[in-house]
Structure 1
Amino acid sequence: MKAASHPVLKDVVLVGAGHSHVTVLRMFGMKPIPGVRLTLVTREVHTPYSGMLPGLIAGHYGFDDAHIDTGPLARFAGARLYQDEAVELDLAGRRVICRSRPPVSYDLLSLNIGSTPNTAGVPGASEHAIPVKPIDGFLRRFEALQARVLARKGRSAVALVGAGAGGVELLLAVEHRLRQAVRLAGFDGGGLSFVLVSGDANILPSFPAAFRARFHATLAARGIAVVTGAAVTAVEPGRLMLAGYGPLAADEILWTTEAAPARWLAKAGLPLDARGFLRVDQTLRVTGHDCVFAAGDTIAFSGRELPKSGVYAVRAGPVLADNIRRTLTGRSLRRFRPQREALYLVSTGERYAVGTRNGLVVEGAWVWRWKDWIDRRFMRKFNELPEMRAAPPALPPLADREALKEISAIAMRCGGCGAKVGASVLSRALAGVEPAARADVVVGLDAPDDAALVDVGGEQLSLQTVDYFRAIVDDPYTLGKIAANHALGDVYAMGGEPQTALAIATVPFGIESKIEADLTAMMAGANEVLREAGCALVGGHTSEGAELALGFAVNGLVPAAAALRKGGLKPGDGLILTKPLGTGTLLAADMRGKAKARWVMAAIAHMVQSNRKAAEILRRHGVHAATDVTGFGLLGHLIEMVRASEVDVTLAIERVPLLEGARETAALGIFSSLQPQNVRLRRAIRELAAATRHPLYPLLFDPQTSGGLLAAVPLAQAEGCVAAL
């Protein structure tokens, strides 16, 4: 991670990646405040744009068209991105309590968390209906619904409860998509039926009569039944119970009635209105709380009630960003003045839409194109960000051409194992080092193995290893988990069990409270991993420095006869890699704002995964040589095994597992800063010309952080081992 040029003085925490907060991030990216650190806490790292959700469901847009990628956006804003969910607030301690990580401290807090389905008042609705909100999870729920419809060969009755603009538009999109899916699957579309259910006397009750009439006609033309004036009294498996109407059969029930606030707000100690929404004043500040702001569906706005519509959240974004800035700089706040009449453009499932404002109603394919242009223009603000270019380093006048070439690569150095010294440089530097001779050192500096082996008497040998690197993620808690898993990997690669660990931590200069918060979170993450491994944290050392960094000196135990060495490869063995490659290229792309957030989060999920279970499975399948794949890449570590074993290896590049997105970032030519040094090892490849023509060839040199185990097992055991893994 890039070192901060100023110590952190204030922490602004944004909870939720709603339409207002993405604007806050973009505006702070365009004009940051030195000493202010932003942190985004969000359940989903790809936030859906509500205006394009019906088009996504209908099949007119792809996933990335309709979602804002908070990864590059957070990087552009210089914000930390935490994928988690707020479940409580500690107002006295100024902390956000999260579901799966330590609390996040704030000096200023903003909430843009949307709303939840209002199913509590209808028996059975929570169990048997599919809520549309929160919309960040609706796509998965809809895909599961579509799979069930196809499993029934298209014979399904679909009901949608709630006949506001969102409900009508969504049902038309669902009808369009499901009829198309059923037809493409070769089933009879006549088995599909749709019904719109409303407790109000009419659909679209807050819209002009002409607007309603157009949608009545559209629904009728598409064969969608409409039931109005019939409130849902209960939801049972396979049917809706309606007041004054009786039971209505429905295999799938979508729920879009009036939204409810997040349930945890009720116990947060913040002022709420009668329905549980956050009371905010006309500056979007929570009433009575100078350091808490809110926007979007979760608020009860002072002065007048606002519709729970993304239109108002989008309009609130610039005011919210400005008032956060004004609060931090001690200036008076500005008022949010929402428009009285918003423009509504509602699609019909096809590339056709109806629009209204101030009583005027228009419709046609051109209205859909107009809506599409507005929506895409909005999305471009967040998904097509200005290029992030590192400032070139100041070049000393004495630098020659070769020195200039090396200096030019320094501007954006990678962290993690991408920050290692290259294998060639390391070998030359250590060539003249002659350690003290000791009879109890079984494996030492002269061997290529992952850890030292020391005979301390008894049946087991002592394993000793150390790892340390600069932060590769902005979250100190996650860094702690990655660093601990990375350090333990050497022990597992040697066939041992970890025993004790000493920590080596560097924290950036800053005020005490910020240093304490980061160090606490980092060590909490590390200790979780160490405790799970049965490894006792027994001490360590801390220091201040330019960047957050963490490492561990780990001791382990291994029976002398069970120790795994790199030199144990045998002719006819099968090679198994227990984790996919790609962390180097993905994290390098993330630094440049070129990696999708879902790719980075998937890579992090692999990095925080322990190698312990993989090592156990490998032992059960006769492993007799292993290493962990880290900074020197797959090829670099494999070369160490080949040379130590005095064998050759055939590597099928297309069978090497890769992380999602690694192909794409490699195709862009984005690699770790350690990659060029790793590529020097290419001379070990026998058929180099053929290998270099393969598009995945560069990934053989990709440095891994907390990578998997590369192990040799008897070929007869290989398939069973992979299946067990």
Structure 2
Amino acid sequence: MKPSAQPVLRDLVLVGGGHSHVGVLRMFAMKPEPGLRITVICTDIDTPYSGMLPGYISGHYSFDEVHIDLGRLCAFAGARLYHDAVVGIDRQNQKIICQNRPPVAYDLLSINIGSTPQVRHVEGAQSLAVPVKPIAQFNQRWLALMDKARQWPVHRGRMTIAVVGAGAGGIELVLSMQYRLRHELKALGRSPEDLKFVLLTSGDTILPTHNPGVRKRFAQVLQERNVEVHTSAEVIQVSPGCLHTRDGRTFDADETMWVTQAGGPAWLQSTGLALDKQGCILVHPQLQTLNDPLVFAAGDIASFVERPLEKAGVFAVRMAKPLAENLRRSLRGQKLLAYDPQRHWLALISTGNRFAVASRGSLGFAGAWVWRWKDRIDREFMRRFTEFPSMPGAGSPGQAGAQVREAVQAMGQLLKDIQAQGKGHTTQLNLTSEESLQAISAIAMRCGGCGAKVGASILSRALGQLQPVERPDVLIGLHSPDDAAVVRVPAGMAVVQTVDFFRAFIDDPYVFGKVAANHALGDIFAMGGEPQTATAVVTVPPGLESKVEDLLTQMMGGAIEVLNAAGCALVGGHTGEGAELALGFAINGLIDEKMHSVMRKGGMQPGDVLLLTKPIGTGTLFAAHARYAAKGRWIDAALKSMVLSNQSGAEILRTHGATACTDLTGFGLLGHLVEMTRPSGVDAELTMSTLPLLDGAVDCVQAGIVSSLQPANVRLRRALRNADEFLGDPRYPLLFDPQTAGGLLASVPAAQAGACVQALKAAGYVHTAIIGRITAQSQAIEPVLLKT
């Protein structure tokens, strides 16, 4: 995580990763606003571009070609990405309520979440129909539909696929699906005629917002492609295998795709924001909501009060520039500008087979060349979000000196801008006089010693929101704070102690808190201990008191969740100021004083099987993330692995007779394995082909991106008996990759290995693998032999 050169003065939160918001992110990346922190909250890491979706369904584009990697884009923009669902807004306290994390504070909020077909208003549609929007969720249903079509039993006759809605989206969908699925059946040696496609609309014509010439052209295409079209057919009920219309007709439908009656999600109803009849947010021409100047909306979820706008991607894309400008102006306290949407726009509607029809007002023309034109336009749009220009401060570690100078210059300029407030025009963020004083203090020279502690009022407010688990053996803890905690050690038990501390490597303080706590607990679990208490050591960058408080609340909220789940009571700690966010814990655990249940690094026996419970690759992935070179879904998967506790895994290993165990952390797989073979007096064989790897890890090391600790770990290659034979293996560098909150590396008797792996996978350690075996110590100096 690249540290900011300035203290955070304002929080802009973007809910949703739609076309407008990705444009806003890129604009703020190219022209940052000093003191502004941007947070994106989105349910999806890969956000689809609707203009290329029909081509993806037809099979002309890959998944990555039609999706914007929100993780990479946010990293490039210096924005935080929170992978979560929004379920409400507390406008009075300016906080966003999320499904799986503490509320997120905002100074300014923008919503760009698209619209959703209102299937809940049609009986049976919510469970039996597939809404096309949100587009990201549609992809899984589309892949399932393709599998269903491929496996459709011949004896059941033709499979009927119905599309409800005959606007441009419905037309493109039915033609694209037909093109792709017919080719899929041909590839399987089956007849494409085994599929039937039906298009239904409540209106009296298809494409109601387009000119008669375009409608006539598509009517002809649909007829030539044998797509049944039924107008004046309002679907009022969906039952298994059947659609029912208001006029009493029924239509067979083995699968129903819903592309009509778009509106807002149910959670908007409780926000108090002014909404239209479809539940979309009413906005002024400035894209500001009618009854809250701190909330903006754009794209399909915005309902333009000046005149109705079609739910078309072209408007969402065009709104990005005025939205970014007005968000910036609002933060600066400047007058907002009105957005004047175009009256006519060019629509390029594809027919699935690399042919497209252009429609604009009364004009219309078509051809394969129109599709190639559309393809060029779409690819150019996507390049803006996949090929990032070099930005200051994004270089190699060798440029550290230049980065420091840049940071000092930026802070100096920000100080001048803050001091200039109230003395004339300023283009910087609009602050109160109290906030200006706090900001100047944050930038000024800070004290050391106890003068670097975070203020008591900030701490009490942040910690007051936390609820550590209560334990009867904690006599004095946070429930009655004192100079130190007092803890009873139960009779017959011994204390296990460990400490871990590191700086933040991601921009989400809540998830970072969870990872840091999980990492610290790992040593206790690896030894078979029971966590008892934890004391925290926290470093936070100075800034506005409200921002520091929120940062602490988010980070410690994540940590407390993990500690509480482990039955570990947070009993105290120390919070100080520093250049970067960092968190660590000293953990005390309990174990049988007779050492019967202790699992140690030594104890491996020849013939044991070597198990690893989590995939490796966190070091290279987060090194790549810092360079905008890792895909967002790779980072998301890595974080999910890192927050998976080792507690259950350790218990399963113990009950299956593990002879030795350790948690995989900074020294990497090879380093920790050598730490086990030496005291055990054994050798080990590692099977490269069975190593569980995080998605993207091999891609990153092949790109030459490794952790800064990698060179030190590579020195342990002398422990490898046949390293030269594997230098060309793409997995070889990952033997030295430092892990954060890694899995458990353990030796288990061979007779227990199968049952142990099965139990671990059932407990959620789905990547558990047998990665080698333990052998008797040989005459060779090197204890580890690599196998293919």
Question: What is the one-letter code of the residue matched to 1:28?
Answer: F
Correspondence for 1:366: 369
- Encode CA deviations 1:63-122: one digit per residue, 9 max, x unaligned: 010000011110111100001111100111000101111111000111101111112332
2:658–2:747: 8 Å Cα contact kept in structure 1?
Answer: yes
Structure 1, unpaired ranges of 5+ = 396-454
Contact 2:262–2:278 (8 Å) recurs in 1: no
Letter of the 1:61 counterpart: Y
Query: Hey, what does 2:47 align to over in structure 1?
Result: 47
CA contact (8 A) 1:57 1:139 kept: no
More off after superposition, 313-322 vs 293-302: 293-302
The CA distance in 2 between the partners of 1:337 and 1:88, in whole Å, is: 30
The question of 1:393 aligning with 2:400 is answered: yes
Query: Counterparts in 2 of 1:246-285, with a 5 A limit?
Result: 246-285=249-288
Residues 327-369 of structure 1, C-alpha deviation per residue, up to 9 Å, x if partnerless?
Answer: 1222221111111101000000111111111311111110000
Separation in 2, partners of 1:92, 1:113: 22
Secondary structure of 1:616's partner? helix
Residues 402-452 of structure 1 show CA distances to partners (whole Å, capped at 9, x for unaligned) of: xxxxxxxxxxxxxxxxxxxxxxxxxxxxxxxxxxxxxxxxxxxxxxxxxxx
CA distance in 2, matches of 1:338, 1:619: 66
Measure the CA separation in 1 of the matches of 2:693 and 2:279.
Answer: 46
Moved more, 205-214 or 45-54: 205-214
- The counterpart of 2:703, out of the listed 659, 668, 684, is 668
Give the 3-state SS of the residue equivalent to 1:651 in structure 2: strand
User: Among residues 341, 349, 352, which one is paired with 1:349 in the alignment?
Assistant: 352
Displacement after TM superposition at 1:387 (Å): 3.1
Given the two structures, how large is their TM-score scaled by the length of structure 2?
A: 0.83
Task: Check conservation: 2:536, 2:583, Cα contact below 8 A.
Answer: yes
Partner residue of 1:37?
A: 37
- Cα pair 1:153 1:182 within 8 Å, conserved: no
Q: Does 1:12 align with 2:17?
A: no
Give 1:178 deviation, angstroms.
1.3
Match of 1:186 among 175, 183, 189: 189
Cα distance change on mapping 1:249 and 1:394 into 2, 3 Å: closer
Secondary structure (helix, strand or coil) at the match of 1:693 reads: coil
**SS across alignment from 1:120:** helix
Task: Identify which of 578, 592, 615 aligns with 1:545.
Answer: 578
Amino acid at match of 1:572: G
Q: Shift of the alpha carbon at 1:458?
A: 4.5
User: Kindly tell me: are residues 181 and 77 of structure 1, through their superposed partners in 2, closer, same or farther at Cα, counting changes over 3 Å?
Assistant: same
- Shift, 1:536, TM fit: 1.1
The residue aligned with 2:682 is: 647
- Matches of 2:489 and 2:142, distance apart in 1: 60
Query: Which amino acid in the other structure matches residue 691 of structure 2?
Result: V
State the Cα distance separating 1:245 from its structure 2 match. 5.2
User: Which residue of the other structure, out of 706, 717, 721, is the alignment partner of 1:686?
Assistant: 721
The one-letter amino acid of 1:271's match is A
Within 2, Cα distance between the matches of 1:145 and 1:629? 41
Offset of 1:717 from its aligned partner? 1.7
Q: CA deviation at 1:539?
A: 1.2
Residue 331 of structure 1 aligns with which residue?
334
- Three-state SS of the structure 1 residue aligned to 2:214 is helix
Q: CA deviation at 1:394?
A: 3.1
- Distance in 2 between the 1:594 and 1:159 partners? 41
Tell me which residue corresponds to 1:558: 591
Aligned partner of 1:106 in structure 2 is 106
565, 570, 573: which one pairs with 1:532? Answer: 565
1:229 counterpart SS class:
coil
Task: Give the superposition deviation at 1:456.
Answer: 7.2
Number of residue pairs matched? 666
What's 1:605 paired with? 640
Structure 2: distance between partners of 1:602 and 1:477: 16
In structure 1, what is the equivalent of residue 786 of structure 2? none
- Is the 8 Å Cα contact of residues 13 and 40 (structure 1) preserved in structure 2? yes
**1:283-323 residue CA offsets vs partner (Å, 9 max, x unmatched):** 11112322211101111113111111110010000110111
Encode CA deviations 1:365-385: one digit per residue, 9 max, x unaligned: 100000000111100001111
Aligned residue among 605, 608, 620 for 2:655: 620
The CA distance in 1 between the partners of 2:635 and 2:247, in whole Å, is 53
Distance 1:275 1:498 in 2: 52
Of the candidates 466, 480, 486, which is equivalent to residue 513 of structure 2? 480
Structure 2 matches for 1:155-234, cutoff 5 A?
155-234=158-237
SS at match of 2:682: coil
Per the alignment, in what secondary structure is the counterpart of residue 537 of structure 2?
strand
Superimposed CA distance per residue, residues 265-299 of structure 1 (whole angstroms, 9 cap, x where no aligned partner): 11101112233221111111112322211101111
Q: Which moves more between the two structures, 184-193 or 357-366?
A: 184-193
Query: 2:624 corresponds to which residue?
Result: 589
Q: Which amino acid in 2 is paired with 1:142?
A: W
CA distance in 2, matches of 1:170, 1:314: 21
CA distance in structure 2 between the aligned counterparts of 1:360 and 1:457, rounded to whole angstroms: 84
Q: Per-residue deviation at 1:462?
A: 1.3
Q: What amino acid does structure 2 have at the position aligned with 1:499? A: Q
Does the 8 A contact of 1:584 with 1:672 survive in 2? yes
Q: 1:659 aligns with which of 694, 697, 706?
A: 694
Alignment partner of 1:306 is 2:341: no
1:692-707 equivalences under 5 Å are 692-707=727-742
Aligned to 1:148: 148
Residues 668 and 739 of structure 2 are in contact (CA less than 8 Å); yes or no, is this contact kept in structure 1? yes
Work out the CA distance in 2 between the residues paired with 1:711 and 1:306: 61
RMSD: 1.4
Q: Which residue of 2 aligns with 1:442?
A: none
Q: Does 1:288 align with 2:291?
A: yes
Match 1:518 to one of 537, 545, 551: 551
Q: Which segments of 5 or more consecutive residues in structure 2 lack a partner in the other structure?
A: 403-487, 761-788
Q: Please give the alpha-carbon distance, in whole angstroms, between the structure 1 residues aligned to 2:340 and 2:355.
A: 31
1:464 aligns with 2:497: yes
The percentage of counterpart residues that share the same residue type is 55
Cα 1:721/1:186, change in 2 over 3 Å: farther
